[in-house]
């Protein structure tokens, strides 16, 4: 092997040493990048564990896991169609009414002299006030239509029969409460149309047997329409009826999850193989 001259040997040695140093630097950079990626992954996994730990904490203290699993993974009968969504649509309409009602209550003043000006202020001056009021106004009509459609579906499908009689009774009470909420809310703008329409409706209630006159006096806050009538309608519309509806919806959903839903009436029940073999 032929030896290189002195300067070339020194230059070749320096090149090899520089290559070794560069290789070590690259290895160190790769190690640091891998450590950074591993740290990011650990942080991401820790963040993802927070909601899981929160759900576990709530489940351990409330015991709601079995109920939610039974509610979300319950068996659905064959032939289920879009008619079965009318109940969920009605509940969504109620939630929409509750949310928009809260925003309207922030600006509404239940007074005989200030009710109508406050409604005009909401419609003309408040940001998105006309939109929210329109949602609340037309949402009331939508909710009434949906709850009657849902009630008709339950009746024609025979879902009111054993063992669901109690759920049917709760549904009928919910229909009555929905109509009462529509009646009490109709007066709140306190213009000429809402005032005289409510007078007619309360007079119709007063013509009922036995409890009719007492119910009319309770709604009016006296023998005639006065300054306390609008405050009473507002309290019933905002506090009493929504609370009752929310409680009854909870009971209604519990019974639906517990008892299940009925199959459409045009589907025949299939017999189990054991029963069919015994008949044969």
Question: Is 69 within 8 Å of 101 (Cβ atoms)?
Answer: no
Other Cβ atoms within 10 Å of 87 Cβ, number: 22
Residues 100, 133 within the same domain: yes
Pick the closest to residue 93 from 155, 153, 135, 154 (CA basis). 135
**Residue 1 lies inside a defined structural domain of this protein:** no
Residues 193, 252 within the same domain: yes
Determine the pLDDT at residue 10: 55
Q: What is the pTM of this model?
A: 0.77
d(CA 256, CA 145): 21
Residues 27, 151 within the same domain: no
Residue 54 belongs to what domain range?
23-62
**Residue 206 lies inside a defined structural domain of this protein:** yes
DSSP per position, 176-226: HHHHHHHHHHHTTT-SHHHHHHHHHHHHHHHTSSSSHHHHHHHHHTSSS--
Residues 58, 84 within the same domain: no
3-state secondary structure 253-266: HHHHHHHCCCCCCC
Provide the number of structural domains found in the chain: 2
Residues 51, 134 within the same domain: no
Please name the residues in contact with 187: beta carbons below 8 A apart, sequence gap of 6 or more.
194, 195, 198, 229, 230, 233
Q: What stretches in the chain show pLDDT beneath 70?
A: 1-21, 23, 269-280
Determine the pLDDT at residue 3: 54
Please name the residues in contact with 253: beta carbons below 8 A apart, sequence gap of 6 or more.
71
């Amino acid at each position: 092997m032929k030896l290189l001259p002195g300067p070339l040997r020194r230059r070749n040695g320096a090149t090899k040493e520089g290559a070794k140093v560069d290789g070590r630097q690259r290895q160190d950079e790769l190690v640091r990048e891998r450590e950074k990626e591993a740290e990011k992954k650990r942080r991401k996994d820790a963040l993802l564990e927070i909601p899981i730990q929160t759900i576990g904490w709530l489940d351990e203290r409330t015991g709601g896991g079995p109920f939610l699993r039974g509610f979300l993974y319950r068996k659905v009968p064959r032939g289920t169609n879009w008619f079965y969504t009318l109940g969920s649509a009605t509940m969504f309409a109620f939630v929409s009414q509750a949310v928009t009602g809260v925003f309207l209550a922030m600006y509404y003043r239940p007074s005989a002299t200030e009710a109508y000006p406050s409604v005009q202020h909401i419609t003309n001056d408040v940001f998105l006030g006309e939109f929210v009021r329109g949602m609340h106004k037309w949402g009331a009509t939508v909710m009434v239509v949906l709850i009657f459609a849902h009630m008709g579906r339950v009746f024609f499908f025979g879902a009111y029969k054993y063992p669901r009689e109690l759920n049917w009774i709760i549904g009928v009470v919910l229909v009555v409460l929905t109509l009462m909420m529509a009646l009490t809310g109709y007066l709140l703008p306190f213009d000429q149309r809402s005032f005289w329409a409510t007078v007619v409706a309360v007079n119709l209630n007063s013509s009922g047997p036995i409890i009719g006159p007492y119910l009319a006096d309770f709604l009016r806050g006296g023998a005639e329409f006065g300054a306390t009538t609008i405050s009473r309608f507002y309290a019933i519309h905002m506090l009493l009826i929504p609370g009752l509806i929310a409680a009854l919806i909870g009971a209604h959903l519990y019974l639906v999850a517990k008892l299940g839903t009925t199959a459409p009436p045009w589907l025949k029940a299939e017999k189990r193989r054991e029963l069919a073999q015994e008949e044969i």
